[in-house]
Amino acid sequence: MSRTPRSASTVSTLARLLLIAVVLLLCGAAFAWTGGWLGGRGLSGAAMVDALQASAGPHPGFRRNHAKGICISGNFVGNGNGTRLSSTAFFEKTRATVVGRLALAGGNPYAADAAVPVRSIALQLRLPDGQEWRTGMNDIPGFPVSTPQAFQQLTLASTPDPATGKPDPALMRAFADAHPEFVAFGARMAARPHSSSFANDTYNSINAFVFIGGDGARHVVRWSLKPQLSFEPATASSADAPARDALFDDLLARLDRGPLVWHLIVTVAGAGDASNQAAVPWPEDREQVDVGTLTITGASSENLGDCRDIVYDPLVLPSGIQGSDDPLLSARSDTYAVSYRRRAGEPPGDSALHGRKAGSEP
Ligand code: HEM
């Protein structure tokens, strides 16, 4: 065998390998671009989850945010009023089963309830034909910032300094100076009446979504769950500190007495209302439509209930409802998936509410 043909074949093999490497690199770059990891367009879910973990400390087996929570079950019944806004079957006079979660924001699964200012409800609604709608709502008036980048910077700035156990005031001041929407949010939070219970609280989608009507018309909306119970203010903390799990104790006691009910209220955006700025509230006078009733009949700790392995990804939507151009939506989708993969690969942590149960199955 002569040397010339062998080196020609070596060269062509090398060239082919190089081509494959270039194609793989380009594919990788394309994936990274699509995921928003290159070009400064966004953040990876992993970077976001790293920031949340750095802030709350390691709590293996738990959600990286809203770590302290309890599974809830019940149903959602549409009343027909929403069908002129969206063709979703959930707004017809139908009954969906609900597996949800009531939780406190933050990454500490053992937090004292009274110390956490933000509560949440997450719902997975399912119709008998298999259609599904997942949604997560917080009880705050909007979000502190409107972009994933700003939320990551805020998470890092508010990470407790190990020396003091508190966020560095200089970092927080610098963040506030660069983010006037955060300062405005702080003022709304300070003025917000804080309710006494999960049961008499209002929860907001905060992000905007798009409803598609049967006629194809698009309506930009946000939604809220408003409690049937009247608002009662949280009592100011007295000399006797409330029990660590006071809010969850209250929820379980109420469910043992009977179901809890909320109305799903859709707010329709007016001309000029931004769909991509979760930090900016819409004017109070916008049209609101009551589209149905959520009834929660039971609650169980995560080791007993069905919610632990559900990812309440806000972009799991039924036909007739779409995500908007709000950049927080796809960041949430990505981040929740990373949080799920990490916690699902760890031994389940023993929740503060381990073994607790109340009420009845729907
Ligand atoms: C970029 C901004 C945000 C980030 C990075 C973020 C991050 C997270 C993470 C990591 C979880 C845990 C997910 C899991 O392991 O299943 C979570 C839960 C949650 N988030 Fe967000 N979040 C963001 C914005 C929002 C917004 C705007 C809302 C609006 C209401 C929201 C509502 C919720 C709720 C309700 C839960 C609890 C879900 C449950 O109980 O399982 N989040 N968030």
Q: 339 CB less than 6 Å from ligand 1?
A: yes
Tell me, what's the pLDDT at 135? 98
Q: How far is the CA of 239 from the centre of ligand 1 (A)?
A: 33
66 belongs to the catalytic site? yes
Tell me, what's the pLDDT at 42? 62
Specify the pTM: 0.89
Question: Among the atoms of ligand 1, which is closest to the Cα of residue 143?
Answer: 27
Question: How far does the chain reach from its first CA to its final CA, in angstroms?
Answer: 80
- Higher pLDDT pick, 335 / 2: 335
66, 179, 263, 354: the catalytic one is 66
The tokens of 289 are what?
């439509």
Tell me what the pLDDT averaged over the chain comes to. 89
Asked if 119 and 104 count as a contact pair (C-beta separation under 8 A), the reply is: yes
Closest CA to 78 of 339, 237, 266, 300: 266
Q: How far is the CA of 119 from the centre of ligand 1 (A)?
A: 11
> Average pLDDT of 254-259?
98
Closest CA to 110 of 245, 308, 242: 245
Does residue 254 carry a pLDDT above 50?
yes
d(CA 351, CA 88): 36
Question: For the segment 61-87, what is each residue's pLDDT rounded down to a tens digit?
Answer: 999 999 999 999 999 999 999 999 999
| Bridge partner list, 300 | 71, 357
Question: For the segment 127-157, what is each residue's pLDDT rounded down to a tens digit?
Answer: 999 999 999 999 999 999 999 999 999 999 9
Closest CA to 357 of 286, 242, 253: 253
- Local confidence band at 12 (pLDDT 50, 70, 90 cut-offs): low
Q: 311 CB less than 6 Å from ligand 1?
A: yes
d(CA 21, CA 29): 12
Domains annotated for the chain, with CATH where assigned, are: 55-234+242-359 (2.40.180.10)
> Average pLDDT of 20-25?
39
Q: 68 CB less than 6 Å from ligand 1?
A: no
Q: State whether residue 295 is helix, strand or coil.
A: strand
d(CA 356, CA 70): 9
What pairing do the DSSP bridges indicate for beta strands 209-212 and 218-227?
Answer: antiparallel
Asked if 292 and 82 count as a contact pair (C-beta separation under 8 A), the reply is: yes
